[in-house]
A and B are shown apart, each in its own frame.
Chain A
């Protein structure tokens, strides 16, 4: 059965590009355009991995990470998350720490624009870590 990846990003072009890339590699790709929709999809689909943008309307990526820390979401808290954003890792970690007091617990951090090889490699790594 193919691995199921949920892409949460408000930029439809990024979503399209990623979907084509990942589907071409045999992944099953689902998408959501903001954090709230993303959380609904997580419950519904139980994905193997999440690619998450940070700056989004309604609920942003920080909000998704925070929600997944909530005990009520414990069933989904171990899904690997790869952050894919135009915000630098350093800046977003600081913001998250400032708001929550803890570091953002994500598996990887990739800055936009997408470099296909990098994205694929990081996804494979995160999946491999999970399967161990």
Chain B
């Protein structure tokens, strides 16, 4: 009860004035209140073999500087929980440095344990310049103050520990993000080195196919055309990995600006027509005028929509339709790309945004990264993306919808959040 009460009192006091000031007030008030010469708070070392002066009042610097107090018989008694009074400090064999005490003008000493929740923290020592006894009442009262001191010290220790742990965590996080960035840098370098030879091979084949090196027979043509397709797939995979690593590392910072949804969508429609027209697919566009602006990456937002459209094109037969709609609802922009393709099996629907997920593992087209890139782009803009199949109100097809808040501010620390969210 007493401990609880003292603890409750100490909390707001510490919060208001800080540990140092509380401890200083304690030693000063005790010295003045008891008519003593001075008072010290001695704190047990972490190893528990010495006592260090944490705060003193009325004691000379010289006396304090004589070093830590060894744990002798008397101290052991105090640390076991009993107050020990020494009336004649100059002649009592329990005093460790009688000469120093004499020089300091100490006649009597009272040592009281500083209890706390975690055990005894140390010793409160009161020094008097006149030889005197300490009454039981006095000791009892001082015992409360010693306990208060113990609680304050415990609180300080706890705060230091929390601070240390926080610092450790910060360093760890820093180290992790450094490693992460290194790794992503490595990926980008590898990607570039993979891309260069592929691009060279691809260039040769295309020049040969064009007939610049002489006539090409039918078989050669077919195989070279297939080679071109395979290399295209690899180049796409590499550029997807690079994009992914850039998004993960948050190094798209320079791309960020005020972006108008109108210009994003208009350029996407143009790209989309380039994909749908040759395949004989009808592109149905319904974009609300006066869509707001957001602070984000125009390149990435275009990439998001283009990815969704190109997925739809892949699964929509000739003569089918693809819908691109966008509108504003309250403080967000909602957009979807919907196709009339074969749809997505319900059991794989939850997985389609995962890295390297492929609906049809046999399929040679696609890298399995397109939708996971889309998801990152949307989340980076503080939005959400999901897929429905069959498309709402229809018996087939797929609709992928994303919602991005109007005032979205692109989050560069996105990857950190993403990792936390995943664990």
Contacts and interface: CB of A to CB of B under 8 A. Distances in A.
Interface string B188-205: 000010011111111110
Given A20-B213, A94-B254, A86 B207 contact: no
Given A20-B212, A90-B255, A98-B254, A115 B199 contact: no
B206 interface: yes
A17 B254 contact: no
Nearest to B238: A86
A55 B254 CA distance: 20
A109 to B, nearest CB: 14
Q: Is the interface of B mostly helix, strand, loop or mixed?
A: helix
B299 interface: yes
Contacts of B206: 17, 113-116
B210 interface: yes
B196 A11 contact: yes
B195 A21 contact: no
B107 interface: no
Nearest to B198: A113
A24 interface: yes
Contacts of A55: 192
Interface string A1-42: 000000000010110111011001000000000000000000
A14 B213 CA distance: 15
A113 B254 contact: no
Contacts of B202: 113-114
B: interface residue count bin: 20 to 34
Contacts of A17: 200, 203-204, 206-207
A86 B196 contact: yes
Contacts of A98: 254
A112 interface: yes
Interface string A81-111: 0000010001000100010000000000000
Contacts of B255: 90, 94
A68 B210 CA distance: 34
Contacts of A14: 199-200, 203
B241 interface: no
Contacts of A112: 195-196, 199, 203
A92 to B, nearest CB: 12
Nearest to A120: B210
Nearest to B200: A13
B235 interface: yes
Given A20-B212, A116-B206, 11 more contacts: A11-B200, A13-B204, A14-B200, A17-B203, A55-B192, A86-B192, A86-B196, A94-B254, A112-B196, A113-B203, A113-B231
Interface of A: 11, 13-14, 16-18, 20-21, 24, 55, 86, 90, 94, 98, 112-117
